[in-house]
Structure 1
Amino acid sequence: MTLTADLFWSFRSPYSYLAIGRYRALAASHELTINLRPVYPLAIRQPDFFERNHPNWLSYTMRDMIRVAQFHGIPFGPPRPDPIVQNVTTRAIAAEQPYIYRLTRLGQAASRRGKSLGFCHEVARLIWGGAQDWHLGDHLADATRRADLDLAELDAEAVEDAESLDTEIAANQVALEIAGHWGVPTLVFDGEPFFGQDRIEMAKWRMEQKGLRPR
Structure 2
Amino acid sequence: MTLSYDLYWSFRSPYSYLVTPRLVALEAEYDVRCNVRPVYPIAVRQAGFFSNADPLWFSYFMRDVFRCGEYLGVPIRWPVPDPVVMDPATRTYPEEQPYIFRLTQLGVVAAEAGKGLAFIAEVSKTIWSGTVDHWHKGDHLAQAAARAGLDLAALDAKVAAEGDRLDAAIKANQDAQRIGGHYGVPLMVFDGEPFFGQDRFDQLVWRMKQRGLAKR
CA distance in 2 between partners of 1:138 and 1:179 (Å): 36
Per the TM alignment, residue 94 of structure 1 is displaced from its structure 2 partner at its CA by 2.1
Name 1:40's counterpart in structure 2: 40
Residue identity matched to 1:72: L
Distance 1:163 1:32 in 2: 31
**Distance in 1, Cα, partners of 2:20 & 2:6:** 12
Deviation at 1:89, TM superposition (A): 2.1
Matched, 1:111 2:141: no
Corresponding letter in the other structure for 1:206: R
| Correspondence 1:47-196 to 2 at 5 A | 47-130=47-130, 131-196=132-197
Q: What is the identity, as a one-letter code, of the residue corresponding to 1:183?
A: G
1:119-138 superposed Cα distances (whole Å, 9 cap, x missing partner): 01100001111121101101
In structure 2, what is the Cα distance between the partners aligned to 1:104 and 1:144? 14
2:50 match: secondary structure: helix
SS of residue matched to 2:212: coil
Letter in 2 for 1:6: D
State the alpha-carbon separation in 1 of the partners of residues 177 and 29 from structure 2. 25
Deviations 1:126-177 (A, max 9, x none): 1111121101101000000000000000000111100000111111111111
User: Structure 1 counterpart of 2:99, which letter?
Assistant: Y
Counterpart CA distance in 2 for 1:142 and 1:53 is 37
TM-score normalized by structure 1?
0.98
Q: Which amino acid letter does the alignment assign opposite residue 157 of structure 1?
A: K
Offset at residue 95 of structure 1 (A): 2.8
What does the per-residue CA deviation read over 1:163-211, in whole Å, with 9 as the maximum and x for residues that have no partner? Answer: 0001111111111111111111000100111000000000000000000
Unaligned runs of 5+ in 1: none
d(CA) in 1 for partners of 2:148 and 2:92? 34
State the superposition RMSD in angstroms.
Answer: 0.7
For the residues of structure 1 that align with 2:95 and 2:179, how far apart are their CA atoms? Answer: 29
SS of residue matched to 1:188: strand
Counterpart residue number, 2:16? 16
Alpha-carbon distance between aligned partners in 2 of 1:95 and 1:155, rounded to the nearest angstrom: 21
C-alpha distance in structure 2 between counterparts of 1:96 and 1:21, whole Å: 31
SS in 2 for 1:49: coil
3-state SS of the aligned residue for 1:8?
strand
- Secondary structure (helix, strand or coil) at the match of 2:51 reads helix
Count of matched residue pairs: 215
- Scaled by the length of structure 2, the TM-score of the pair is 0.98
Shift of 1:87: 1.3
Cα distance in 2 for partners of 1:192, 1:114 equals 23
Residue identity over aligned pairs, in percent, reads: 54
Which 5+ residue runs of structure 2 have no aligned equivalent?
Answer: none
